[in-house]
Amino acid sequence: MRVRNFSLFLGGVILLLAAAFAQNPGPGELPSAPSAVRQQEKAQKAPAVPQQSAPAPQDTTSQTQAPAEPAKPQATPPATPPAEQPPATTRANEGQKPTSSSTSATPSAPEEDNPVTKIIRVVNEVNVVFTVTDKHGRYVKNLKKDDFHVIDDSKPAEEIRSFHSETDLPLQVGLLVDASNSVRDRFKFEQESAIEFLNQTVRPRYDKAFVVGFDGTPEVTQDFTDNTEALSRGVRALRAGGGTAMYDALYFACRDKLLKAPQTGPTRRAIILLSDGDDNQSHVTREESIEMAQRAEVIVYTISTNVTGGKQRGDKVLERIAEATGGRAFFPFQINDVANAFVEIQDELRSQYALSYKPADFRSDGRYHTIEILAQNHKGLRVRSRRGYYAPAR
């Protein structure tokens, strides 16, 4: 009886303990009460709030720092912070009484901002390259400064300032080859003669040449180089065909090639022009092309491709261009004479004089002035130079 009563008592105790545990869940269990559900719903909505509030500390920090920076200048009247004050102000005020920043900035600006003063010096000298031959056409190479007299615009030059016998100046040579239909007959032979001339004349690392073929328009088949193989390829790349724009080609070669070519010292500029002289498509005139050659101080040697056996109208044009620039015109009516013309040009380029003089009445007026060089104290000598020059304009 006692055992049974004790069992009933023990069972009751166990039931009471189970009920107590049901009303007080452990810390690892999720709550199921309605208030806990509302808290859980708030917790589920909470990620949206941190996404908005996550950058908030950064914004807050920048907002708190931003006023701090403008707050500094409020105590300092100048708009420019002290750390950005230009050092020129300090240098300008050294040894002077203190002044306000606004007045000290005024004198310092010219010292810091003004460009370097450029001194423009007008050169009142004229440079001329010329050749001297005797009555047999042979070059005379042993003359001195006192053997020459210079006339500028019909007035004796005030002074010959320099004089040299130039037999070894670096060359800048342009080869202009007429590739129009009118020169087809001996075009191949002229190409080979031109190649031989370039091989004999252009010295590596010293002289430079370029090749231009022209019909209706000029075409550079080889630009400036001292490589004779490249120049030969440029000559062989020429193809005959089309009209003739000789004046345009000469103008282009002088203005866009020789006039713009860099020079490190005295240089002789020359053009060898192979053509029949019959221009029918140029935009510039004959005289305009001559003027550009004179401005670029280029000597033009012309070789006629006329095979009729007599001088034609085009030959007279070639003669005019050569004489105006101090060059020579060659008329090789026989095909073999083309090579001889190139040989004579090569010889002349190594047999020239150069002098500079001061005109008696030099003016920077942009006007054309004539030149005449006379060989005095010697009979039968002929001086060949360019006919004139264009004075610089103010």
Q: Which helix (H) or strand (E) holds 22?
A: helix 2-23
Q: Among all chains, which residue has been given the structure tokens 């004139």?
A: 388
- pTM of structure: 0.66
Q: Which domain holds residue 193?
A: 168-350
Q: Which residues of 63-81 are buried (b: 16+ CB within 10 A; e: fewer)?
A: eeeeeeeeeeeeeeeeeee
Confidence of residue 10 (pLDDT cuts 50, 70, 90): low
Q: Which residues sit opposite 357 in a β-bridge?
A: 126, 160
Domain membership flag for residue 143: yes
| The token pair that represents 326 in the structure block | 């101090």
Q: Does 144 share its domain with 230? A: no
With 70 as the cut, is the pLDDT of residue 133 above it? yes
Q: C-alpha dihedral over 140, 129, 270, 297, to 10 degrees?
A: -160
Domain membership flag for residue 6: no
Q: Which helix (H) or strand (E) holds 53?
A: helix 48-53
Query: Which residue type does 327 have?
Result: G
Confidence at residue 366, expressed as pLDDT on a 0 to 100 scale: 85
| The token pair that represents 107 in the structure block | 């004198």
pLDDT digits (tens, 9 = 90+) for 224-239: 999 999 999 999 999 8
Domain membership flag for residue 78: no
Domain membership flag for residue 5: no
Domain membership flag for residue 67: no
Q: Does 156 share its domain with 257? A: no
Domain membership flag for residue 231: yes
Q: Does 327 share its domain with 383? A: no
pLDDT digits (tens, 9 = 90+) for 148-174: 999 999 999 999 999 988 777 889 999
Domain membership flag for residue 61: no
Q: C-alpha dihedral over 21, 23, 26, 27, to 10 degrees?
A: -160
Q: Does 178 share its domain with 241? A: yes
Q: Residues 6 or more apart from 329 whose CB is under 8 A from it? A: 301, 302, 304, 315, 318, 319, 321, 322, 323
CATH classification at residue 227 = 3.40.50.410
pLDDT digits (tens, 9 = 90+) for 67-111: 444 444 444 444 444 444 444 433 334 444 333 333 344 444 444
